Structure 1
Amino acid sequence: MKDTKITLVLVAVFLLLLILLGGAAVYYHGQYQAADKRADEATTLAKQRQETINDMQVRQRDVAALDAKYTGELADAKATIDQLERDVATGKRRLQLNARCPSNGATTTSGLGDATAPRLTDSAERDYFTLREGIITITGQVNYLQQYIREQCLK
């Protein structure tokens, strides 16, 4: 009978150990799954952030290329206007006007006399080139902004 009691105690201790080990296994398995889920979420978040960074880098390169394009076009247009202004000043080119010289009420002979071709005053000529440069600049800026909106904002 003594052997039976010892056997029963050993079996009870063994079952208790088995239950404790099973509980510990379930606990640590749950901990592992929670840690695995957090790791998966962190990996997903890292991938999303990297995709965002990559997209921003691509957009920055696109915007830089767009900026360089329109900055170059504006510089070329300004250089063209400056050259045209120099050519007009030196007489190499002339501004073409659709203008009439108004008569001051005096009757003239049928000859041309001292009539000269109509031309702009010096200040009007300067204003012409300033306005022309302003028009080209604003047109370039509007085109740049429209393309920026199409390529960057509407993506």
Structure 2
Amino acid sequence: MSKATIGLLLLLLAGAIAAGSMALYYRGSAIDYKAQRDKASDALNLANAAIDDMQVRQRDVAALDAKYTKELASAKAENDALQRKLDRGGRVLVAGSCQKQAAGSASVDNGATVELSDIAGRNVLGIRAGIKNDQSKIAALQQYITEQCLK
């Protein structure tokens, strides 16, 4: 074999080794980039799922808020109507049971109604409004805890 042929073969061998090295380098880079892409894609999917869940929860909380705000407004309107009725001379009657005072044994008179004074009537309506308000808030919080916090 001539020196030129041997030189050409060595040159071809060196080129093949260089091409193989470059191919392995770029293959490794491609694998690394694919792994990074897959990791970023998974993180994006997770973030999108979290955003979707938060949006659903926000809609649920807004609906819950609207429901109980409407309920509170209705109770306030009812109480305001009763206050106006009282202002126009209406009476507040309270159903109850009272002990009868008799010479013999004591007995209970069920179903009796008691008419309250103007000031007592206003106090009863104020207390009633507070109770309705508190009950509505408690129900809203209980539903929020059940539907949102315990999920």
The TM-score with structure 1 as length reference comes to 0.81
Residues 85-134 of structure 1 show CA distances to partners (whole Å, capped at 9, x for unaligned) of: 2223334554235487xxxxxxxxxxxxxxxx964333222111111000
Which has more strand, going by share of residues? Answer: 2
Residues 84, 93 of structure 1: 8 Å contact kept = no
CA gap 1:95/1:69 in 2 versus in 1, 3 angstroms:
same
In structure 2, relative to structure 1, the CA distance for the partners of 1:44 and 1:58 (3 Å cut) is same
> Any conservation in 1 of the 2:91–2:116 contact (CA below 8 Å)?
no
What residue is the counterpart of 1:124 in the other structure?
Answer: 120
Q: Answer with 126-135 or 82-91: which moved more.
A: 82-91
User: 1:145–1:44: structure 2 CA closer, same or farther, 3 Å change rule?
Assistant: same
Between the aligned partners of 2:91 and 2:118, the Cα distance in structure 1 is 15
Which residue of the partner structure matches residue 50 of structure 1? 48
| Deviating more after overlay: 6-15 vs 121-130 | 121-130
2:94 to 90, 93, 96: 96
Q: How many residues were matched structurally?
A: 139
- Which residue of the partner structure matches residue 10 of structure 1? 8
Query: Which structure 1 residue ranges, 5 or more long, are not aligned?
Result: 101-116
- Alignment map for 1:1-155 (pairs within 5 Å): 4-92=2-90, 94-98=92-96, 119-155=115-151
Alignment-mate amino acid for residue 126 of structure 1: R
SS of residue paired to 1:96:
strand
Q: Is the 8 A contact 2:64 2:144 kept in 1?
A: yes
Q: In 2, distance between residues paired with 1:53 and 1:70?
A: 26
Percent of aligned pairs sharing the same letter? 44
Query: Is the 1:78–1:133 Cα contact (8 Å) retained in structure 2?
Result: yes
Distance across 2 between alignment mates of 1:28 and 1:53: 37
**Greater CA radius of gyration, 1 or 2?**
1
Q: Give the 3-state SS of the residue equivalent to 2:61 in structure 1.
A: helix
Name the residue aligned to 1:103: none
Extract unaligned runs of 5+ from structure 2. 99-112
RMSD across aligned positions (CA): 2.2
How far did residue 42 of structure 1 move? 0.7
**TM-score relative to the length of structure 2:** 0.83
SS of the residue aligned with 2:93?
coil
